[in-house]
Amino acid sequence: MQIQIFRVGANDSAGVEEMNRFLRGHRVLSVDRHFENGVWYFCVCHQSSEPVVPGQAGAKVDYRADLDTATFAMFSRLREARKLLAEKEGLPPYALFTNEQLAEVARRLPRSLGASTRGSRRGGLPGWRVGSTWCHESWQPAGQR
C-alpha cells in the first residue's frame, strides 16, 4: 500500500484538479480527510505506485466457470456480505477483499461440521460454534436472514 497526501486550500482549483487526476489514475483503497484553518488535507491510500491505464485492466476471471457450483454459491454470498460491509464502512468493496481473495476463502471454507473438525486436536467445536454463528448472521443471502 502506498500513501499520497494532498493539501487543498479554498478556491484552489489547481490543487483539486491535481488530486482528481491522481485519483483517476490509481487504484484507491481509502481516503481520509481533515479540515483545519480553511484547508482540506487528504490522505489517499492506494494499491500501488503504478498508475492504472484506462482500458488496460487485468485479465477478467470468470469465477462461475473457475469454481464448482457449491464454491461459486459461497463466493457469491461472500461478495454480497463484502458489499454490505463496504457500504456500511463507506469503502469500495475491493478495499476490503479482492474477488481473488474471496474465491480462495470460498475454496477453503468447510462445507459441514464434520469437515471443520478434521485435523483439529480439540475437535474444532468451540471455534465452530463461534464461527458458525458469525457466518450464519453475516454471510446468509438477504432472502434467508
DSSP string, 69-129: HHHHHHHHHHHHHHHHHHHHHT--HHHH--HHHHHHHHHHS-SSHHHHHTT-TTTTHHHHH
Amino acid identity of residue 75, one-letter, is F
Task: Please report whether residue 29 resides in a domain.
Answer: yes
- φ, ψ of residue 49 in degrees (nearest 5): -85, -5
Same domain flag for 74 and 10: no
Task: Please report whether residue 98 resides in a domain.
Answer: yes
CATH number for the domain that contains residue 73: 1.10.150
Q: Which residue has the cell 461478495?
A: 79
Same domain flag for 19 and 76: no
Same domain flag for 72 and 104: yes
Same domain flag for 69 and 121: yes
Same domain flag for 70 and 21: no
Task: Name residues of the chain where pLDDT drops below 70.
Answer: 48-59, 111-145
Q: What is the pTM of this model?
A: 0.44
Same domain flag for 133 and 97: yes
Same domain flag for 117 and 68: yes
pLDDT at residue 122, as a whole number: 45
Residues 82 and 93: beta-carbon distance below 8 Å: yes
Same domain flag for 67 and 128: yes
Nearest to residue 78, comparing CAs of 100, 45, 61, 62? 100
Range of the domain at 30: 2-46
Same domain flag for 68 and 132: yes
Task: Please report whether residue 107 resides in a domain.
Answer: yes
Count: domains in the chain: 2
pLDDT at residue 89, as a whole number: 83
